[in-house]
A and B are shown apart, each in its own frame.
Chain A
Amino acid sequence: MLNRISTYFYLRPRLVLLLFLVPPLVWFLVVYIGALITLLINSFFYLDGFTGQVVREFTLQTYAKLLLPTNLQIFFRTAFMAVLVTIACMIIAFPLSYYMARFAAPRMKGLLYLAVTLPLWTSYVVRVYSWKLILAQEGIISWFARLVHLDGVLQWYLSNDAVGGPSLSVSPTGIFLVFVYIWLPYMIIPIQTALERVPKSLIEASGDLGATPAQTFRTVLLPLAFPGVVAGSIFTFSLTLGDFIVPQLFGTSSFYIGKAVLTYQGTSGNIPLAAAFTMGPIVIMIAYLLIARKLGAFDAL
């Protein structure tokens, strides 16, 4: 009986393919694309300021609101933070990934893999809160600054409006540090995978042909690792763009996109404006991916 079923399916590969594809397609179209379309539609409605009701009529006035200086500032602030976080993650991730891919013995590599992914086993919220303790006024960083008599420097740093705040735990610097911490694994893994695929002989060949290690890095290693770097940066960049918990917990009064969405949607019930805000990161990501494609990041796919 079982044999006959097997034979039935074996002879009809198209049917098998269909059966395999239906569940993910349904999920993708209904849940995924459907939600996005709902968002898009909502962003063309508007909130009647007098009644507090959403008016279901096509309008661009919600988008016009996005262009108000305060709202534009939110976009720029968030995108700038995402860029900084991405660059910092790249700088930290590359050497570690390189070590893991090229030099680490199998045992060491396993351990490092574990160490990199271990934080992902615990709740994101718990980890973020633990940083609250680290960065707090009474936290280890401030304690250490006092210990080495650099608390004056810390105070001076925090007094700068652009980066500081009442304490590290309530400042753009705090947001930056926590973002770099939580998204770092998403940068390390793709870079490490890309570097792993570069044969050792290519590095040797480059040196053999007269290139110093720095030249080899620039002309061989970096271009070949580039797709991995881009993949990692897509994670760190988009996750930073949309996150609302970290700015909420560590932010001063300045808004970030995620926090703005949360506030408009939850607190003031302005779903159209929240939806329009959400379109922001989507557009930024599309632009980002187009640039990445232009630079050849997906040539290897």
Chain B
Amino acid sequence: MTESAILFKNVSRHFGEVKAVDDIELEIKDGEFFSMLGPSGSGKTTCLRMIAGFDRPTSGQIILYGQDVSNLPPYERPVNTVFQDYALFPHMTIDENIGYGLMIKSVAKAERVKRVDEMLDLVRLRGFGYRKPSQLSGGQRQRVALARALINHPKVLLLDEPLGALDLKLRQQMQVELKNIQREVGITFIFVTHDQEEALTMSDRIAVFSEGKVEQVGTPSDVYEHPSSSFVAGFVGTSNLVSGEVAERITGSPRRFSVRPEKIRLAEPRDEIESDMFSIDGRVRDVVYLGLYTRYLVELDGGGDLVVVEQNLKTTSMDVTKAKGRNVRLLWKREHVSYVEG
């Protein structure tokens, strides 16, 4: 059995009338890369700040490796944070920034220098130690922030949208790098993001937040393949949400379900329907060519519409635009349907 790194027990954080975090139960396991995913204002950052100690729960408890830390100040918690704006000390060099935690703990100078150098190696910034933060690029600052947090060997590393300020290429590179570093140091990482792709790429498990509550906790494939609510289905990836009369025509029941656009196959109108499949007929109303794939908006016979995505394996932009107006049959496997709440 793996030990739990962090337990949220009925944790709430209210700011006046606003319930930023509303009665959350959550378990984060030792050594996992855990993401808190949600739109802004969903309570994910507040949860992170409560773990760090910048904020205290209005009610409930936060247990860190068996110890109730709910009312400990930040400087007495064995966790460290990588801030969204990096929060590097502008009046200190990179060496001094990274060694700050050790300096505070009065670690001997020689030991400090050695460990700072190790950290510079880990984040591939050897030779930058004498510079000031203002002389580094965004990606480099980000790595300094990471080194400064990791040097203290925290039990948990908290990352507050650390990649938000980087451009796409650098962000993807840092995603891989972060994941590698996490494997190397073996520390529990808690990663806050509003970017679902980022969360899916890096995480062992994801908690999806909405309006101060946790909607779903699970592995990336769990959350993607089997969203438990229409919010999760809509927020993590794109999804077709079908309910009511249209759902009844497809599945025979008015229960709301979600199906991913890439799971649906565009077939000829009279194609055979196998027994493990759902199907419905319609007409292509719109075609958007997106290079790697094409998105079709299909108007269903008898009302409603579905989005279908197909990869352009053999087709070119010329071929796909011709599909507009065609009658089609949509087919997808029953297992790709998730029945969702709300």
Q: Give A299's nearest chain B residue, CB to CB.
A: B91
Q: Give A207's nearest chain B residue, CB to CB.
A: B74
Interface residues on A, range: 10 to 19
Asked if B136 is at the interface of the complex by the 8 Å CB criterion, the answer is no
| Number of residues of chain B lying within 8 A (CB) of chain A | 25
- Secondary structure at the A interface, as helix, strand, loop or mixed, is helix
Asked if B87 is at the interface of the complex by the 8 Å CB criterion, the answer is yes
The interface-forming segment of B39-47, B97-105, B266-274, B282-290 is B97-105
- Contact pick for A207, options B73, B84, B149, B152, CB 8 Å: B73
The interface-forming segment of A75-83, A121-129, A196-204 is A196-204
Note all chain B residues with C-beta closer than 8 A to A134: none
Shortest CB–CB separation between residue B220 and chain A, in angstroms?
28
Asked if B148 is at the interface of the complex by the 8 Å CB criterion, the answer is yes
Q: Is the CB of B89 within 8 A of A220?
A: yes
Q: In the complex, A204 Cα to B90 Cα: how many Å?
A: 14
Interface 0/1 of A202-218, CB less than 8 Å to B: 10111111111001000
Interface 0/1 of B73-87, CB less than 8 Å to A: 111000111011101
Q: Is the CB of B81 within 8 A of A208?
A: yes
Given contacts A210-B104, A215-B104, is CB(A205)–CB(B91) below 8 Å?
no
Q: Is the CB of A199 within 8 A of B87?
A: yes
Given contacts A204-B54, A215-B104, is CB(A209)–CB(B85) below 8 Å?
no
- Contact pick for B101, options A201, A202, A209, A299, CB 8 Å: A209
Asked if A54 is at the interface of the complex by the 8 Å CB criterion, the answer is no
Q: In the complex, A208 Cα to B101 Cα: how many Å?
A: 9
Asked if A166 is at the interface of the complex by the 8 Å CB criterion, the answer is no
Q: Give B132's nearest chain A residue, CB to CB.
A: A299
Q: In the complex, A206 Cα to B148 Cα: how many Å?
A: 11
Interface 0/1 of B133-150, CB less than 8 Å to A: 000000000000000110
Given contacts A207-B75, A209-B80, A212-B75, is CB(A202)–CB(B87) below 8 Å?
yes
Shortest CB–CB separation between residue B109 and chain A, in angstroms?
16
Asked if B246 is at the interface of the complex by the 8 Å CB criterion, the answer is no
Q: Give A223's nearest chain B residue, CB to CB.
A: B91
Sample of 4 further A-B pairs with CB below 8 A, known A199-B85, A206-B89, A219-B103: A204-B54, A207-B54, A210-B104, A224-B91
Binding site for A on B (CB under 8 A): 52-54, 73-75, 79-81, 83-85, 87-91, 100-101, 103-105, 148-149, 152
**Interchain residue pairs with CB less than 8 A apart (10):** A204-B87, A205-B81, A206-B100, A207-B54, A208-B53, A208-B79, A211-B75, A211-B100, A212-B75, A224-B91
